[in-house]
């Protein structure tokens, strides 16, 4: 896994800017039967709805990327955590216990504390999903994903301090139709099946039912069990009803169920500087253990316990009622979601799991938003509303440590944590157009939050672990109240047709709270997080279907919430940090069916106040990242159309742990090549494609943490290796 030099990265970023396609142009569905490549929707026509107004993508005064559902399906993206391969500047890493760690422009919530609210907010059909576990839910039958980069203060349903990901599912239509896709991947033996049917029940009522089944094989060779790990299974179904009894009334309701099961774990022991992991393995009858930077493991569960892995199931219900009152629109958005989850992790990556962590997690969340909007025309328009959020989250965490080499620490305990969050918000936004071509937008938001964390820690088996590191707690409850006032302002000027300049400023806040596994209760609380982002940019259209976008940004965050595992305990801090840089996006429709484009992010993220023993920068924050696509689509010949996509995804090196002394300081940079070659019959709506990912076989470490109580040892997770699959899809 070789590193990439700075000069090569600079050159690669420029090449990618000319040889890639941005997420904005990936969002198009398959062409209708009588269409040509020229008739595809251009990026200027893509509509963004996450900011509560229907806005053309090229008219939004901030950096937004949009990727369409057909592109997600074509790339076999089945969960939010796989978006790293599709969206530049967004990194999503695996973390222990099935958590994920999303970052934008080098900023995001640390995955080592389950109770963090997400710095990058996740929304599904406008409903806020507030826990890291929500990122692992099945992703299917999606109309588009909108990626909003930078602080979003005023109108989002829950404040997010550095960005947001908004999922928009497909809604019922008034015509019958169906679609489906099946993919078999040959190297890992994976199968992905999804489909949907749209049924108009009468003139005012339509139903859409969609589902997904996945069986994904692993790539880490477990030498003791003979399995390739981790393997995953997902089953999901969603039903959506749309009722339009009158021109001024529309009601859409949906219900979704999904379950997710992971067998094994994506982490394995890669470093054993002092030989302690090998000695521990020998204690339990495995003298052949070797820690190495290759995708193999000797990790097993412990006799008498459930095996390593994750078992999760969840439900989500959404109601959107839109009522027109003259020229005004009233929207009521109601959401309820719940999930339950079990996970078991080996913290040493050795046989018999002598450092065992297991947890039971559950969540119930309810939200209600009510807003009214004036017509979006004339010299002044506005919207205003209120938002209520209630979340009850439970996490029971067990550590069970038996004999290990080089340490006398043993013992077992269980921490019971119950968290209740209640938030009430008021928000408003006004748009002023004082003269032709000039638009000024201002937004204001007030949030009041009450949060409580209730603890109990029981000793299951006494030992040094429970008398020195994690002592018992009597039942206790900690409480905090928070009030935030955040605002945003932007000004944009249309210099000429399809070309505008803009500047924006926004503040954002994220609530504080209590860590789930403190060593002592007095250290459990962490402070709220406050961000300020300024962005200046230009969006320039220079030919049909072509544009150049540039954005310069600076984000400062006070009391940035960071958490990491030291090998003995979890540390939570509030640091002062900033990220500044530039994003460049080029889309160029060269000829009918041939497009070249690219999107590159440069992010310089670092601490503004030094922290003893910590790195000066931030974890999972590469300076350079980009993803793109060279796409070709032939004219129809004898009923067939040939298609081809060449996709490049790259990043520079990134730190893997905040501790300056960590045994794996950084993951080197990489560039990956993905190809998709296929043939489509537009009359039948059938497409057959060969999909290859990571064809150059880059081995990329995306996460690492120190082995529990095994000094000099570390576990890592890696991206999947080369995969090649055959996909058959139909859309009618």
pLDDT (0 to 100) of residue 590: 93
Asked if residue 655 has pLDDT above 70, the reply is yes
Q: How far is CA 78 from CA 122, 136, 216, 489, in A?
A: 16, 9, 10, 36
- For the chain, which domains are there? 6-731 (2.40.170.20)
pLDDT at 404: 96
| Rounded-to-integer distance, Cα 676 and Cα 678, Å | 7
Give the whole-angstrom CA distance, residue 430 versus residue 489: 10
pLDDT grade for 46, boundaries at 50, 70 and 90? low
Residues with Cβ within 8 Å of 35's Cβ and at least 6 positions away in sequence, in order, are 682
As a whole-number percent, the residues of the chain with pLDDT over 90 amount to 68
**How does residue 218 score in pLDDT terms, banded at 50, 70 and 90?**
very high
**Given pLDDT bands bounded at 50, 70 and 90, which one contains residue 67?**
confident
On the question of pLDDT at 419 being above 90, the answer is: yes
Give the residue with greater pLDDT, 530 vs 2.
530
pLDDT, average across residues 569-581: 91
* Average pLDDT along the chain: 88
User: How many residues can be counted in the chain?
Assistant: 732
Whether residue 152 has pLDDT greater than 90: no
**Predicted local distance difference test score (pLDDT) of residue 681:** 96
Does pLDDT of 70 surpass 70? Answer: yes
Average pLDDT over residues 268-276: 95
Q: Sorting pLDDT into bands at 50, 70 and 90, what band is 82?
A: confident
Quick one: how many helices (H) and strands (E) in the chain?
Answer: 4, 42
Paired residues of 61 in beta bridges: none
Identify the three-state secondary structure at position 23: helix
Which strand ranges, in their side-by-side order, compose the sheet holding 701-706? 267-272, 713-718, 701-706
3-17, 69-83, 456-470: range with lowest mean pLDDT: 3-17
The pTM of this model reads 0.90
**Given a cut of 60, is residue 135 above it in pLDDT?**
yes
Residue 169 CA neighbour count, 13 Å, CB half: 32
User: Is 79 within 8 Å of 314 (Cβ atoms)?
Assistant: no
User: Can you tell me the mean pLDDT for 463-479?
Assistant: 93
Q: What are the tens digits of pLDDT across the range 607-647?
A: 999 999 999 999 999 999 988 889 999 999 989 999 999 99
Q: Is the pLDDT confidence value at 356 over 90?
A: yes
Averaged pLDDT, 112-116: 77
99 vs 294, residue with greater confidence: 294
What's the pLDDT at 708? Answer: 94
pLDDT for 22 equals 34
């Amino acid at each position: 896994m070789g590193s990439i030099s700075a000069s090569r990265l600079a050159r690669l970023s420029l090449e990618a800017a000319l040889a890639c396609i941005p997420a904005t142009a990936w969002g198009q569905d398959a062409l209708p039967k009588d269409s040509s490549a020229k008739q595809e929707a251009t990026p200027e026509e893509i509509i963004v709805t996450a900011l509560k107004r229907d806005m053309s993508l090229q008219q939004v005064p901030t950096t937004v990327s949009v990727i369409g559902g057909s592109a997600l399906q074509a790339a076999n993206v089945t969960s939010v955590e796989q978006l790293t391969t599709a969206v530049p500047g967004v990194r999503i890493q695996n973390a222990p216990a099935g958590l994920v760690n999303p970052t934008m422009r080098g900023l995001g919530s640390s995955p080592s504390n389950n109770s963090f609210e997400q710095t990058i907010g996740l929304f599904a059909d406008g409903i806020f999903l507030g826990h890291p576990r929500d990122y692992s839910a099945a992703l299917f039958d999606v109309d588009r994903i909108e990626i909003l980069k930078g602080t979003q203060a005023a109108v989002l349903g829950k404040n997010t301090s550095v960005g947001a990901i908004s999922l928009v599912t497909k809604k019922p239509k008034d015509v019958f139709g169906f679609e489906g896709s099946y993919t078999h991947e040959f190297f890992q033996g994976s199968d992905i099946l999804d489909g949907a049917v749209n049924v108009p029940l009468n003139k005012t009522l339509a139903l859409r039912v969609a589902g997904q089944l996945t069986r994904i094989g692993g790539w880490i060779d477990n030498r003791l069990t003979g399995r390739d790990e981790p393997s995953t299974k997902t089953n999901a179904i969603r039903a959506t009803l749309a009722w339009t009894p009158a021109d001024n009334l529309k009601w859409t309701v949906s219900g979704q169920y999904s379950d997710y099961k992971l067998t094994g774990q994506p982490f394995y022991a890669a470093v054993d500087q002092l030989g302690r992991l090998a000695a521990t393995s020998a204690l339990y009858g495995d003298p052949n253990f070797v820690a190495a930077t290759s995708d193999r493991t000797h990790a097993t569960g412990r006799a008498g316990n459930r095996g390593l892995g994750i078992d999760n199931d969840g439900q989500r219900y959404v109601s959107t009622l839109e009522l027109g009152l003259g020229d005004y629109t009233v929207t009521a958005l109601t959401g309820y979601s719940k999930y339950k989850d079990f996970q078991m992790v080996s913290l040493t990556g050795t046989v018999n799991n002598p450092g065992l962590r297991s947890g039971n997690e559950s969540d119930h969340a309810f939200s209600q938003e009510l807003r009214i909007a004036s017509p979006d025309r004339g010299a002044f328009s506005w919207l205003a509303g209120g938002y209520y959020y209630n979340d009850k989250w439970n996490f029971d965490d067990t550590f069970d440590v038996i004999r290990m080499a080089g340490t006398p620490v043993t013992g077992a305990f269980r921490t019971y944590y119950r968290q209740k969050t209640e938030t009430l918000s008021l928000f408003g936004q006004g748009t002023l157009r004082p003269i032709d071509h000039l638009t000024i937008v201002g937004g204001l938001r007030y949030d009041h939050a009450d949060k409580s964390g209730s603890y109990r820690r029981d000793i299951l088996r006494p030992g040094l672990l429970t008398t020195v590191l994690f002592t018992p707690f009597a039942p206790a409850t900690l409480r905090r109240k928070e009030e935030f006032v955040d605002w945003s302002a932007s000004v944009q000027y249309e210099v000429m047709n399809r070309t505008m300049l803009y500047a924006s400023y926004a503040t954002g806040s994220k609530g504080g709270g209590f860590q789930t596994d403190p060593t002592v209760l007095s250290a459990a609380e962490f402070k709220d997080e406050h961000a300020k982002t300024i962005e200046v940019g230009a969006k320039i259209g220079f030919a049909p279907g072509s544009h150049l976008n540039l954005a310069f940004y600076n984000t400062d965050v006070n009391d940035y919430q960071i958490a990491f595992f030291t090998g003995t305990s979890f540390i939570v801090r509030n640091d002062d940090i900033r990220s500044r840089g530039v994003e460049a996006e080029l889309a160029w429709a060269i000829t009918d069916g041939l497009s070249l484009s690219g999107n590159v992010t440069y992010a310089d993220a670092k601490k503004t106040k030094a922290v003893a023993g910590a790195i000066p920068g931030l974890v999972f924050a590469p300076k350079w990242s980009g993803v793109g696509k060279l796409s070709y689509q032939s004219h129809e010949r004898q009923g067939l159309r040939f298609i081809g996509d060449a996709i490049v995804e790259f990043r520079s090196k990134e730190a893997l742990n905040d501790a300056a002394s960590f045994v794996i300081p950084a993951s080197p940079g990489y560039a990956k090549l993905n190809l998709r070659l296929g043939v489509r019959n537009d009359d039948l709506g059938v497409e057959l494609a060969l999909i290859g990912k990571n064809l150059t076989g880059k081995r990329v470490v995306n996460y690492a943490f120190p082995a529990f109580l095994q000094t000099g040892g570390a576990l890592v997770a890696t991206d999947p290796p080369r995969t090649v699959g055959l996909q058959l899809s139909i859309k009618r």
